[in-house]
């Protein structure tokens, strides 16, 4: 936003322009791929990534950029593309001919094939002996 970029992404189906709507993890539109010396974070929420020198940030679901997306022409065809149209339209001769391109157009982010987890966490399961749900008279009586 500070650099003057209002469009940070594109919608999944029609590739309509999307800007930043929220300020934290609830932000639905600003999904970006972030590359740094530490590796790549695909589909990071732009509003939760701390800006610092050396970051390369690219919008996802847009080619070549979010501002000049080639697939934005789909928005003009919206009335001809009802919900689930591709499941009905591209069945013949074989769905598998069309599937890779449809998935590429709707895809989000690029996965780093060399990614390794930083550490493995132990699984912890918590159990309770008694669980009282509710703070009304019945719940308080049961807890007592």
Q: What is the pTM of this model?
A: 0.60
Q: 14: closest CA among 67, 62, 56, 52?
A: 62
Every domain of the chain and the residues it spans = 9-111
Give the DSSP letter string of 3-16. Answer: TS----EE-TTT--
The pLDDT value given to residue 107: 66
Task: Compute φ and ψ for 40, nearest 5 degrees.
Answer: -120, 140
Mean pLDDT by 10 residues, the chain (144 residues): 81 81 84 84 87 86 81 79 71 81 72 75 86 84 84
Q: State residue 87's pLDDT score.
A: 66
Contact assessment for residue 29 and residue 18, using Cβ atoms and an 8 Å cutoff: yes
> In this predicted structure, what is the pLDDT of residue 95?
80
d(CA 121, CA 118): 10
Identify which of 59, 65, 1, 67 has the alpha carbon closest to the alpha carbon of residue 30. Answer: 59
141 φ, ψ (degrees, to nearest 5): -65, -40
Q: Does residue 36 contact residue 55 with C-beta atoms inside 8 Å? A: yes
């Amino acid at each position: 936003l500070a650099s003057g970029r209002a469009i940070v992404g594109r919608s999944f189906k029609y590739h309509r322009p999307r800007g930043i709507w929220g300020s934290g993890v609830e932000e639905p539109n600003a999904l970006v791929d972030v590359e740094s010396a530490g590796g790549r974070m695909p589909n990071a929420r732009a509003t939760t990534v701390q800006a610092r020198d050396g970051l390369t940030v690219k919008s996802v679901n847009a080619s070549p950029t979010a501002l000049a997306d080639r697939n934005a022409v789909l928005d003009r065809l919206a009335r001809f593309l009802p919900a689930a149209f591709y499941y009905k339209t591209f069945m013949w001769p074989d769905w598998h001919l069309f599937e890779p391109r449809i998935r590429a157009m709707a895809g989000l982010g690029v996965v780093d094939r060399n990614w390794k987890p930083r550490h493995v966490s132990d699984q912890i399961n918590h159990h309770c002996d008694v669980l009282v749900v509710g703070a009304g008279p019945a719940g308080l009586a049961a807890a007592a």
